[in-house]
């Protein structure tokens, strides 16, 4: 599976960019634009396919926009009207999740930014409103937030109550501080909280997942504000309790890995607990490519919910060691009854996110955010 917008990180010959952009998908796009008077679908298909092979995923989107733009009116209002006329039917409104749309339908967003950002702001935002009901416009709303923050925020204030959930989701997803693949926005990261206060009660998981991801992003900037808002949402009782519990766990997942006390407390995990912890790691030494067997035993004198994670400090030859947190288990200890947790941690050779090097490594067990045990292991 490809791991980034350039289609890199492929395994077993799979190419995300070729899966998304090929003769079949671009043929579908050509058929959609064929409804426009004077648009030549065969010319578009020939030009678009000829330029694909040398381009990465996002570059292919820009290329498709180039090829379509060549057959559209020059003036943006007329261009926007043509783009809307060629749009397929909106995504199925009966679905509640996992309906991102097709990448080929990003073209209106690209052209909205390219030709509407400076001189046709309102018409371009109208176009994004329509387009996001076919493919998420989360990348393309961000230039408008940077160029026209007040005016764009005013539009988002209206969209939080929109009847189509894809438009509502755009409000949360488009304003995320750390949206993957997307350009940064200059917006104060606390400003969108007013939108999330509304959207957290949305009946659609596609929206609430975005809200939870947005809040997780925000824990890097203002973890205390995230906890405050999550508590407030619990008090207002506008969301179904089970859904809000899921959102809360999802929103605090990074803060929990960092061992932040307020986040853990909100999830019911005390840091002032008395729990004994032992750690065993084997084999030692262990070869890169093999699995490190991790065994953690816990015992407490009282009933206790525990969140057990472990960190590995990775040796690097340059002396700047790296560290990564891994989940182990959330469990409930019974008074005086030991609990043993086991995991085989594969030390992958050639991992996409970091490179393993021979040398001393350290495994540290976190219980409710507190370091409780550690063990050294040597990679060979």
Is the bond preceding 190 in cis, omega lying within 30 degrees of 0? no
Q: What is the CA radius of gyration of the chain?
A: 25
**Tens digits of residue pLDDT in 245-304:** 999 999 999 998 888 889 999 999 988 889 999 999 999 999 999 999 999 999 999 999
Please determine, for residue 1, whether its predicted confidence score (pLDDT) is greater than 60.
no
Each domain of the chain, given as residue ranges in start order, spans: 72-266, 275-379
Residues 6+ apart with CB under 8 A from 254: 216, 219, 220
CATH architecture, domain defined by 72-266: Alpha Horseshoe (1.25)
Cβ contact 239:278 at 8 Å: no
In the block, which residue shows the tokens 């909100």?
A: 266
Model confidence at 3, pLDDT cuts 50, 70, 90, reads very low
Share of the chain above pLDDT 90, in %: 80
Model confidence at 117, pLDDT cuts 50, 70, 90, reads very high
Q: Which of 10-14, 149-153, 230-234, 354-358 has the lowest mean pLDDT?
A: 10-14
Q: What is the pLDDT of residue 352?
A: 59
Please determine, for residue 8, whether its predicted confidence score (pLDDT) is greater than 50.
no
**Tens digits of residue pLDDT in 124-171:** 999 999 999 999 999 999 999 999 999 999 999 999 999 999 999 999
Cβ contact 214:174 at 8 Å: no
CATH topology of domain 275-379: Immunoglobulin-like (2.60.40)
CA–CA gap between residue 20 and residue 47 (Å, rounded): 17
Model confidence at 93, pLDDT cuts 50, 70, 90, reads confident
What is the average pLDDT across 326-348?
Answer: 93
CA–CA gap between residue 266 and residue 227 (Å, rounded): 7
Q: CB neighbours (10 Å) of residue 134?
A: 21
DSSP 164: S
**Tens digits of residue pLDDT in 306-334:** 999 999 999 888 888 888 889 999 999 99
Task: Check if 72-266 and 275-379 are the same fold.
Answer: no
């Amino acid at each position: 599976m490809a791991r980034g917008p350039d289609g890199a990180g492929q395994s077993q010959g799979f190419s995300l960019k070729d899966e998304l952009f090929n003769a079949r998908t671009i043929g579908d796009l050509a058929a959609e634009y064929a409804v426009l008077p004077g648009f030549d679908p065969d010319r578009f298909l020939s030009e678009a396919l000829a330029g694909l092979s040398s381009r990465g995923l996002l570059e292919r989107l820009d290329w498709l926009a180039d090829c379509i733009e060549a057959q559209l009116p020059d003036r943006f209002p007329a261009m926007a009207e043509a783009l809307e006329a060629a749009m397929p039917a909106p995504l199925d409104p009966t679905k509640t999740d996992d309906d991102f749309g097709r990448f080929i339908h990003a073209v209106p967003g690209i052209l909205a930014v390219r030709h509407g950002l400076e001189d046709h702001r309102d018409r371009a935002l109208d176009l994004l409103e329509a387009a996001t009901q076919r493919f998420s416009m989360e990348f393309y709303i961000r230039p408008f937030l940077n160029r026209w923050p007040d005016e764009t925020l005013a539009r988002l204030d209206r969209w939080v109550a929109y009847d189509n959930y894809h438009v509502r989701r755009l409000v949360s997803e488009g304003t995320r501080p750390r949206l993957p693949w997307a350009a940064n926005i200059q917006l104060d990261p606390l400003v969108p909280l007013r939108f999330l206060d509304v959207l957290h009660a949305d009946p659609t998981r596609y929206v609430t997942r975005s809200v939870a991801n947005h809040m997780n992003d925000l824990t890097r900037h203002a973890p205390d504000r995230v906890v405050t808002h999550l508590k407030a949402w619990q008090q207002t009782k506008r969301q179904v309790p089970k859904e809000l519990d899921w959102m809360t766990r999802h929103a605090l997942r990074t803060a929990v890995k960092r061992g932040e006390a307020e986040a853990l407390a909100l999830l019911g995990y005390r840091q002032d607990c008395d729990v004994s912890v032992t750690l065993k790691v084997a084999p030692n030494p262990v070869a890169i490519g093999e699995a490190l067997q991790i065994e953690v035993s816990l015992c407490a004198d009282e009933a206790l919910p525990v969140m057990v994670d472990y960190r590995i400090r990775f040796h690097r030859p340059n002396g700047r060691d790296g560290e990564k947190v891994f989940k182990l288990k959330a469990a409930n200890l019974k008074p005086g009854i030991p609990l043993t947790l086991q995991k085989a941690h594969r030390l992958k050779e050639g991992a996409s996110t970091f490179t393993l090097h021979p040398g001393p490594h350290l495994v540290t067990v976190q219980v409710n955010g507190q370091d409780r045990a550690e063990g050294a292991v040597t990679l060979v």
